Amino acid sequence: MTARQIMTADEIRRALVRISHEVVERHGGTADLALVGVQRRGVPLATRLALDIAEHEGVTVPVGALDITFYRDDLSLVAHQPIVKGTDLPFDPNGLTLVIVDDVLYTGRTVRAAMDALMDFGRPRAIRLAVLIDRGHRELPIRADHVGKNVPTSREEVIRVHLLEVDGDDQVEIDRLGAEVALA
């Protein structure tokens, strides 16, 4: 195995606690604030951020789930249509500050698609971006407002984020792009 661990469960937890403080500080409180997790691993991350915020602010901010499948710009390139996981925004985004939460920021195309999708639901006052890992190689003029860990990578490497809710354990690994080249 060439996989190397770059974040432990504790490091993920601390990064999320820090981001939860940053989000509230940047927004100046929790009023009119909502978190939007990008399917799939962004959703549990957003839920954890909301729990952290509830712990230190005593306020539960709403959490939504966003499936960006229909907004991807590479649908004509993929071999099979991706399975749709579901969008659920339990709030009216008009006038809110929305924080998009995702596990890895790479080309920026997912975030572009997420912003397009959110705009179809209304006109948020602002959209911000929080990611657990920023691995560089942007193809669009997009940056994150809150980053758990910056990881310099080459394009031949893959970042694997494991989350308890999805994968059964908490850790982040980096690996050489090998046989699983076809897996997004």
Partner 1 sequence: MSLSADPQAPPISSGAEPATDALVDRGWRHRHLLDVAGLDEPDLDLVMRTADEMRGILARPIPKVPALRGISVTILFYEASTRTRVSFEVAAKNLSADVVNIAAASSSVAKGESLIDTVRTVEALGADVLVMRHGRSGASDLAARVFSGHVVNGGDGWHAHPTQALLDLYTLRDHLPDGDLHGRKIVIVGDILHSRVARSNIWSLTTAGADLWLCGPATLLRGFEPLAAALPASRRLTVTTSIDAALAGADAVMALRLQQERMSGGLLPSLREYAARYQLNAARMVGAAPDAIVLHPGPMNEGVEIASDLAAGGRSVITEQVANGVAVRMAVLYLLTGGRTTETADG
For partner 1, which stretch binds (CB under 8 A), given 26-34, 118-126, 144-152, 164-172? 118-126
Q: Which residues pair with 75 in a beta bridge?
A: none
Task: Report yes or no: 15 and 183 within 8 Å, Cβ to Cβ.
Answer: no
Interface pick for partner 1 out of 31, 51, 75, 140 (rule CB under 8 A): 75
Interface pick for partner 1 out of 1, 2, 58, 77 (rule CB under 8 A): 77
Q: Which residues pair with 160 in a beta bridge?
A: 173
Q: What is the DSSP string of 67-125?
A: --GGG-TTTTTSSSPPPP---B--S--TT-EEEEEEEEESSSHHHHHHHHHHHTT---S
Q: What is the DSSP string of 7-34?
A: E-HHHHHHHHHHHHHHHHHHHTSSTTEE
Three-class DSSP category at 132? strand
User: Which string of x and - marks every residue 125-144 that binds partner 1 (by CB under 8 A)?
Assistant: ----------x-x-------
CA distances 121 to 39, 66, 105, Å, are 17, 11, 23
* Closer of 62 and 82 to partner 1 (Cβ): 82
Q: Does 41 bind partner 1 (CB under 8 A)?
A: no
Size of the site for partner 1 (CB under 8 A): 38
Q: Does 72 bind partner 1 (CB under 8 A)?
A: yes
Nearest distance, CB of residue 175 and partner 1, angstroms: 13
* Closer of 56 and 125 to partner 1 (Cβ): 125
Footprint of partner 1 (CB under 8 A): 67, 69-72, 74-84, 86-87, 104-110, 116-117, 120-122, 135, 137, 158-159, 181-184
